[in-house]
A and B are shown apart, each in its own frame.
Chain A
């Protein structure tokens, strides 16, 4: 049996032009009165993909899911599931199950009855139903809790019941609305891996909504970052993180320093910009912005090096003063005030337990980074 990693590595249907999308949003718009929640959005998701919709609250991500589940109808545009148009199909006729943010467990039924609800609704016969429920309870490790009522469970157990209930009918597509939002950090991290295993075991397509970027990065094959009803960027976690297409995406995922300037020269996939904070050379995503245009150099804190002496042979180096230090254990965050007055952030991995002469407050230091460490953004 191949490892999970090898399956994941080789899974890239979105790069195959001939691949048939499993879910297809075609120019979908949804308005609530004057408010446009989703604005002319198109998106393809492939079978067995773990797809995340990421964005701040109010960006339209939940509306997108609710349209897929059938609780909202698009104002304009079409939605396809496995090639079939979904227009006018009520929620109970869609081969889609949803896990709700509030879990929405039926309070008057015990755990087993909650899980069996959808199966009963389908008229599955008793013995098969009981077998499936037992299987689901085992999957989420809640065998001993079958007869408990939801209010007698902890938050993590409720979350697992909700998950078991939503996969009990073996839907081909599972929609998850902030599934881990109510869990504490440690439980959330554990559950993330459980969800990934489950998705692989059952061969499901997962569509998940979250505002937690770390969660999206860990679990997803691809992420769509949303902003005010549109998709700002779709890509693998690494693409989104290392090659964001805009300041919005760069800023939304992880920490980033953004330095503004005008393009002075470009060539060979790199662009040089000049601004109040200094001159920087950075990589470009696809096409270089025109000379003289305003552009932004975006660099992640962990890609900058802090040193007392100016290093030799680096593409970019700027002078600064240590403004603030935050020790996190695994790394140390240093806020550095540039000569222009702008404060940037650098992260230093703490590779040794004890450092003889650590960089301290108010020290004058050099920040250095290679041209490929940062990207130049044109919006």
Chain B
């Protein structure tokens, strides 16, 4: 490895990035297309965005998705963190291996099966399908992802930190809140983000468990596409991409700033 820019290196980087991002770039470009036809360029326009914001059903779907995402990610984060803590902490309890396996299983379970089984459950207990069933379904599957993310952090967490907090006067609950949680917070936050993203782009499980009046954005987009792709869909997708990108950027900037502040504090004092 010389670290030089050879033609081979450059072309593989270009090809790789093109493969990943070209479709997205095209989608964004065509969202500003004047033409009704998605594939024919007819000049720059933002009219599809205007149209999008006048489309009440699309806005409703976006609102439902946002609410489902926020609620399910938050609940899943709380439950998933608790599951991870007890799995790591209580090293020997009856059925620990079984329980651990059962937390991981939904990760590899096909969405269709998860969706169908939840649908059967809701039907059999006569639960009216709608906003709450989608939210419950999303909590169910994203909980496992949160548990896995938090658990991987907790494995390297020094338990004596918590004991030290207790030794200095904390109840076990205070010790968790003041020491454990702040230390594992990055993992909890990324667990939340993962859960939120999963909920945001889930189509299959939502289709199974949703009912009238609770159409999520992916469901809406999918049904619209079946009637023909309009640049309006491109516009929705562009907004989603912008949101996600902003979120990722903010998170990484915050991380970097904190690291810089730490380093500066250390420099000033030494």
Is A46 among interface residues, defined by CB-CB distance under 8 A?
no
- A175, closest chain B residue (CB): B167
* CB contact between A149 and one of B165, B168, B183, B266 (< 8 Å): that residue: B266
Given contacts A102-B158, A108-B183, contact A91 B265 (CB under 8 A): no
Contacts of B12 in A (CB 8 A): none
* CB contact between A100 and one of B164, B171, B174 (< 8 Å): that residue: B164
* CB contact between A92 and one of B161, B166, B182, B269 (< 8 Å): that residue: B166
- B266, closest chain A residue (CB): A152
Contacts of B266 in A (CB 8 A): 147-149, 152
A104 and B170 CA atoms in complex are apart in Å by: 15
Is B160 among interface residues, defined by CB-CB distance under 8 A?
yes
Contacts of A169 in B (CB 8 A): 168-169
Interface residues of A in 72-127 (CB under 8 A from B): 90-92, 96-98, 100-102, 104, 106-108, 110, 117-118, 121-122
Contacts of A98 in B (CB 8 A): 163-164, 167
B244 to chain A, nearest CB (A): 28
* CB contact between A106 and one of B179, B268, B269, B270 (< 8 Å): that residue: B179
B169 x A148 contact (CB < 8 A): no
A144 x B164 contact (CB < 8 A): no
Given contacts A147-B265, A149-B266, contact A121 B168 (CB under 8 A): yes
Is A359 among interface residues, defined by CB-CB distance under 8 A?
no
Contacts of A92 in B (CB 8 A): 166-171
B269 x A71 contact (CB < 8 A): no
A90 and B165 CA atoms in complex are apart in Å by: 12
A91 x B179 contact (CB < 8 A): no
A91 x B160 contact (CB < 8 A): no
A107 x B183 contact (CB < 8 A): yes
Contacts of A122 in B (CB 8 A): 169
A104 x B269 contact (CB < 8 A): no
Interface residues of A in 122-170 (CB under 8 A from B): 122, 144-149, 152, 165-166, 169
- A96, closest chain B residue (CB): B167
Is A69 among interface residues, defined by CB-CB distance under 8 A?
yes
- Residue picked from B158, B169, B270, most chain A C-beta under 10 Å: B169
A144 x B270 contact (CB < 8 A): yes
* CB contact between B169 and one of A100, A121, A144 (< 8 Å): that residue: A121
Contacts of A104 in B (CB 8 A): 158, 160-161, 163-164
Given contacts A104-B160, A104-B163, contact A110 B168 (CB under 8 A): no
A145 and B169 CA atoms in complex are apart in Å by: 25
* CB contact between A71 and one of B163, B170, B262 (< 8 Å): that residue: B163
Contacts of B169 in A (CB 8 A): 92, 118, 121-122, 169
Contacts of B164 in A (CB 8 A): 98, 100, 104, 106, 165
A170 and B170 CA atoms in complex are apart in Å by: 16
Given contacts A92-B171, A121-B169, contact A148 B269 (CB under 8 A): yes
B183 x A100 contact (CB < 8 A): no
A165 and B160 CA atoms in complex are apart in Å by: 14
A42 and B167 CA atoms in complex are apart in Å by: 24
- B167, closest chain A residue (CB): A98
Contacts of B171 in A (CB 8 A): 90, 92
Given contacts A91-B163, A106-B179, A144-B270, contact A97 B265 (CB under 8 A): no
A122 and B167 CA atoms in complex are apart in Å by: 12
- B269, closest chain A residue (CB): A147
Contacts of A70 in B (CB 8 A): 166
A90 and B158 CA atoms in complex are apart in Å by: 20
A64 to chain B, nearest CB (A): 16
A107 and B185 CA atoms in complex are apart in Å by: 12
B163 x A90 contact (CB < 8 A): no
Interface residues of B in 163-219 (CB under 8 A from A): 163-171, 174, 179, 182-183
A200 and B179 CA atoms in complex are apart in Å by: 32
Given contacts A104-B160, A147-B265, contact A121 B182 (CB under 8 A): no
A100 and B266 CA atoms in complex are apart in Å by: 25
Contacts of B158 in A (CB 8 A): 102, 104
Given contacts A102-B158, A102-B160, A108-B182, contact A145 B167 (CB under 8 A): no
A187 and B100 CA atoms in complex are apart in Å by: 44
A145 x B269 contact (CB < 8 A): yes
A148 x B265 contact (CB < 8 A): yes
Contacts of A146 in B (CB 8 A): 269
- B171, closest chain A residue (CB): A92
Given contacts A104-B161, A104-B163, contact A118 B168 (CB under 8 A): yes
A97 x B269 contact (CB < 8 A): no
A177 to chain B, nearest CB (A): 9
B62 to chain A, nearest CB (A): 37
A35 to chain B, nearest CB (A): 13
A69 and B266 CA atoms in complex are apart in Å by: 34
* CB contact between B168 and one of A90, A102, A145, A165 (< 8 Å): that residue: A165
B34 to chain A, nearest CB (A): 53
B185 to chain A, nearest CB (A): 8
A89 to chain B, nearest CB (A): 12
A220 and B266 CA atoms in complex are apart in Å by: 37
* CB contact between A117 and one of B165, B182, B270 (< 8 Å): that residue: B165
Listed by A's residue number, 11 A-B pairs whose Cβ atoms lie within 8 Å are A71-B163, A91-B166, A92-B166, A96-B167, A98-B163, A106-B165, A108-B182, A118-B168, A145-B270, A148-B266, A149-B262
The 6 closest A-B pairs by CB, nearest first: A118-B168, A121-B169, A104-B164, A104-B160, A91-B166, A100-B160
| Besides A92-B167, A145-B269, A149-B262, 9 new A-B residue pairs in contact (Cβ under 8 A), listed by A number | A71-B163, A90-B166, A97-B167, A102-B158, A104-B160, A122-B169, A146-B269, A147-B266, A169-B169
